[in-house]
Structure 1
Amino acid sequence: MDLEKLKYPIGQFVMPEIFDEEQAAIWISEIEALPNQIKKATENLSDEELNQVYRPDGWTLKQVVHHIPDSHMNAYIRFKQALTEDIPIIRPYYEERWAETEEAKNGGIQMSVALLVSLHQRWVAFLKTLKLDDYQRRYIHPAQGKELTLANMLGMYAWHGKHHLAHITNTISIP
């Protein structure tokens, strides 16, 4: 069993050297498509399947589904901060602790899927208003100790959705 492949089934995010309008459009379309992909991948899963972990010592699929809108809500807010403030210091959150809250461990996934649908509708509407120059705006991520651009963040969150979708689809296809 390759633990690294279980952790990163699509590999780790790598920012391409060139970021242009075409790349932005691809990533926005991936963010736009994610809620329906998550809905389709999870709509027929049993409680037993949702309580499977995607890797040893990893989250259950239920926790993964709840984590995605948690993470993407934070991303949406960070995008807004970076666009409306001068190099803001974003506030990190303890995603591993959020995943251990009672509703994330035991709550029905439908509420998080519905939240993801609404959140992504709003986020994509916002992203489609941005100009290429807007993606050069920066924010400081104190946990990473560096400045990052909105271009980097756009790519990272397009990747993040596909990353967790692969956790779900790879786990449920394992016999």
Structure 2
Amino acid sequence: MTESELYKLKFPISEFTKPESITINHIKSWIADIEALPKTIINLTKNLSEKELNYKYRPNGWTIKQVVHHCADSHINSLLRFKITLTEKTPTIRPYFEDRFAELVDYTEPIEDSILILKGVHKKLGVLLKSLSQSDLKLEFIHPEHGKRFSLEETIGIYAWHSNHHIAHIIQALEHKDLY
């Protein structure tokens, strides 16, 4: 498999590209994508067998089950990052090792608990994100792993992309079945 083919499997919807100017239409669309994630994951996974939940979306990639658990963990972190940024002055957020999280025992468990987490976290995210003022959207946090500042408006776009990115991974795993 070529490097280009592996890249496309890793990033089936490409990488996030921040628009030059983020508009209210971007924000509304991104929030809708974020709110839709739990229902989309439920629809994609509700009839899957244990074997199907263990399909991988690429060689050396995660299983569908790991992707669902990762989304729950990642989006718990996103909710906290938004809240910390809204309540502290340009905080430095704490990164985590998502690859190491994916190796922990809870990622082998059924996905129902992570789906419950996603439903709750995304409900709270939707309420919070819809309440943000124009000045709130400009607030920033520092991500030490990337060595840069991220505004909340950009972060909404990143998490909308992240949601769609992992939905594409689940679909890709189902299309490729037991190939990887």
Match of 1:35 in 2: 38
Alignment of 1:13-24 (within 5 A): 13-24=16-27
Contact 2:138/2:151, CA 8 A, preserved across alignment? yes
Contact 2:57/2:176, CA 8 A, preserved across alignment? no
Alignment of 1:45-56 (within 5 A): 45-56=48-59
Mapped to 2, the partners of 1:24 and 1:91 lie a distance apart of 24
Moved over 4 A (4+): none
1:174 shift after superposition:
2.4
Q: Secondary structure at the match of 2:176?
A: coil
Aligned identity (percent) is 46
1:158 shift after superposition:
0.1
Match of 1:98 in 2: 101
RMSD: 0.9
Corresponding residue to 2:29 among 11, 18, 26 = 26
Post-superposition CA distance 1:110-164 (Å, at most 9, x none): 1111110111001111111101221110100001111111111100000000000
Match of 1:116 in 2: 118
Contact 1:51/1:62, CA 8 A, preserved across alignment? yes
Match of 1:161 in 2: 163
Unaligned runs of 5+ in 2: none
Corresponding residue to 2:147 among 141, 145, 148 = 145
Contact 1:90/1:141, CA 8 A, preserved across alignment? yes
Q: Secondary structure at the match of 1:37?
A: helix
Mapped to 2, the partners of 1:39 and 1:26 lie a distance apart of 21
Match of 2:132 in 1: 130
1:85 shift after superposition:
0.6
